[in-house]
Amino acid sequence: MIYDQNGDGKWTTGDFNRGIQPEPVSYYPQEISLKTGWVLDMDQDWDIGKQFVKEQKLKEKRTSRK
């Protein structure tokens, strides 16, 4: 999932020199098995609001050290 923050319809990379971060993305947290020739007809639940879970855990570790 790409969070298109600037609304241009595509993923926008960052620019180190200008201090611009790339647009955030989220990946489905589990592996999905597909077989050749199958028609994909299934529903998967996915909480896309958890895009920053890893970053948040790192922040918690840093603040707990202080």
For residue 34, tell me if it sits in a domain: no
When the pLDDT of each residue in the chain is averaged and rounded to a whole number, the result is: 75
- At 40-53, the pLDDT tens digits run 677 778 777 765 44
For residue 8, tell me if it sits in a domain: yes
16 backbone φψ class: left, alpha, beta (φ>0; ψ -120 to 50)? alpha
Look at the chain and report how many structural domains it folds into: 1
pLDDT at residue 26, as a whole number: 79
For residue 43, tell me if it sits in a domain: no
pLDDT at residue 41, as a whole number: 72
Helix, strand, coil shares of the chain, percent, nearest 5, are 25, 5, 70
For residue 24, tell me if it sits in a domain: yes
Provide the residue range defining the domain that includes 16.
1-29+49-66
- Binned at pLDDT 50, 70 and 90, residue 54 comes out as very low
Higher pLDDT, 64 or 10: 10
Residue 22 one-letter amino acid? P
